[in-house]
Amino acid sequence: MGSMISPGETIAIDGGTIRIPPIAYSAQLVADWRSKPIPQITRNLFRSELTAPPPPSPMPQPAPSPVEPEPIVLNGPTGAFWLHLERALAARVDRERFREQLHSELMDDAASVKIQSTITGERPQVLLGGKVFEAGESFQISHSRTGQMMRAFRVESIDADGLIVSRDGKRVRIFASTKRSPILLGEVPHPSAS
């Protein structure tokens, strides 16, 4: 077990040092904040102002620290508001690209699945890559074009026309006929949605 760290103590972390703030000082800041009246709102909360961020509200000044952080500039082309907005938009674009990549990979892998045979009846089965699978089982076979093992699919249902599989929360219909391309059926229904 490590030793206890007391307020006011300076400790070394990753080649630098930090000072643990005294708890009494933090409690005093909270008490001061609570004793002040609630400030009046100076703007209409229901009106959008997309040209600039709202003005900063006055904050209590923290105790001086040995290293002063750089001031945050809210206006101008290099302001923090615009930087955060740019990062959020870039993250959104990255998420969309990732979703598109997953969709493309899903449909490419589904097109690579070749159904050798289906058996209908009380316990429907499908023959894929020389192995028999039933509904509820997962399968992983090599991609017909690249030869690499594809990520696993889960068999949802089997009928004479083919099967329905799922992966990454999406459902795909794969036909027994090689002349028909797979069809994306949408999201896997959530168990509590029924």
Model-level pTM? 0.51
Stronger pLDDT, 48 or 44, i.e. the higher one:
44
Q: How far is CA 178 from CA 120, 148, 174, 181, in A?
A: 19, 20, 9, 7
The predicted pLDDT at position 162 comes to: 92
pLDDT digit string (tens) for 47-101?
765 666 666 667 666 666 566 555 555 555 556 777 788 888 889 999 999 989 9
What band does 1 get if pLDDT is binned at 50, 70 and 90? very low
Pick from 110, 116, 147, 111: nearest CA to 130: 116
Sequence letter at residue 136: G
- Going from the C-alpha of 54 to that of each of 42, 48, 59, 69, 81, the distances in angstroms are 10, 10, 14, 22, 10
Q: Comparing 131 with 7, which gets the higher pLDDT?
A: 131
**Residue 125 contacts residue 116 (beta carbons within 8 Å):** no
Q: Where are the alpha helices (DSSP H) in 51-131?
A: 80-112
Which helix (H) or strand (E) segment holds residue 52: the answer is none
d(CA 118, CA 162): 7
Residues 113-163 pLDDT 10s:
889 999 888 999 999 888 999 999 999 888 777 888 888 999 999 998 999
Rounded Cα distance between 81 and 74, Å, is: 6
